[in-house]
Homo-oligomer: A and B are copies of this chain.
Amino acid sequence: MGSGPVRLGDIAARLGGELLGDPRLEISAVGTLRGAGPGAISFLAQPRFRSDLATTSASAVIVGMDDRDASALPRIVCKNPYAYFARVSALLNPPAPVTPGIHPSAIVATDAVVAPTAQVGPGCIIGAGARIGGAASLGPGCTLGERVSIGPDSRLHARVTIYAGCKIGARAVVHSGAVIGADGFGYAPEGGQWLKIPQIGRVLIGDDVEIGANTTIDRGAIEDTIIEDGVKLDNQIQIGHNCRIGAHTAIAGCVGIAGSTTIGRHCMIGGAAMIGGHLTIVDRVIVAGSTVVTKSIHAPGTYLSVIPAEEAREWRRMVAHLRGLARVTERLRELDRRVRHLEQGE
């Protein structure tokens, strides 16, 4: 990865901010304050790393307004150093270019519409009626079912599978092993057995969505599963049928969301949180990692259900106490009775 070096002045001209230092300084890489070497630009986004500013070998740094004078290095001062850093890194590490064309080993249905500027990698299989937008890119071995639609500038990495009828918006990034549109888990019990409910809804995904490796999003049972614009999904997330994930919500790895649950906009769901089915979570809710949500959440805020791990003996002692809680209540009642007796005896 990586393109040629860029001058510090050109970076500031392009991305804004106040430049302090030599604009001709050449920047060829990004790095952390501790890891960066000469030629690299680093950033300070969290106060706890401020001490690294004095010892960094970076050639330049990106700092916030409050840290304007915290370093003598050539630097760019801006409001959001982390976002600024993201942009500089994207400048120095552009994604692999899209090379238009369909690899000869790909199998594309005759009535599928692939934009001339799109790239379809080796071994891809594109179903009837599918549409692939301009400058979209499919890595090796992707499978799109019938009538799948991929928006412009979207990038599917190797071996993404999208079932029939599902739609992905513009500028998506979908990582390998993701499966979008498999059947939801819907059965009617009958005589001790399970009768499959045909899963005839789709998955509709907005613009600017990222989907991590081996994440699965089920198609709707009757109506559709919806992922709104700007949602970011990490790896190995499972989203059940008929969920709706609100715009700009970020969900970390290993999260499971059972069917028919609606999550609001601008939420943050921590890794391995599990969210029950048929719930509603309002906008701007933070669910901590490994938390189990079994009821709807009606107010913004942070929600939690984790008891941190302890050394095993300590933990077992605590659990034993917990198990003994019924006895505590009993003893309290008994003591209360005895004290009342004494009080009355006075």
Chain A residues packing against B (C-beta within 8 Å): 1-2, 30-32, 35, 80, 82-83, 85-87, 89-90, 93, 95-96, 105, 107, 121-123, 125, 139-141, 143, 145, 157-159, 161, 163-165, 173, 175-177, 179, 182-183, 185, 187-190, 192-198, 200, 208, 210, 212-214, 216, 218, 222-223, 230, 232, 234-236, 238, 240, 248, 250, 252-254, 256, 258, 266, 271-272, 274, 276-277, 287-295, 299, 301-312, 315-319, 321-326, 328-329, 331-332, 335-336, 338-339, 342-343, 345-346
Contact = CB atoms under 8 A, between A and B. Distances in A.
Nearest to A276: B289
Contacts of A345: 346
Contacts of A125: 121-123, 140-141, 158
- Point out which of A31, A90, A234, A291 has the most chain B C-beta atoms below 10 A from its C-beta: A234
B188 A159 contact: no
Contacts of A305: 306-310, 315
Nearest to A268: B189
B322 A266 contact: no
A195 B291 contact: no
A157 B163 contact: yes
A289 B302 CA distance: 22
B309 A292 contact: yes
Stoichiometry (number of copies): 3
Contacts of A343: 338, 342
15 contacts: A1-B200, A80-B190, A82-B189, A143-B176, A157-B161, A177-B216, A214-B216, A216-B253, A287-B309, A293-B308, A302-B312, A304-B316, A305-B308, A332-B332, A335-B336
A309 to B, nearest CB: 4
A1 B139 contact: no
Contacts of A159: 141, 143, 159, 161
Given A159-B161, A195-B83, A301-B312, A324 B329 contact: yes
A30 B193 CA distance: 23
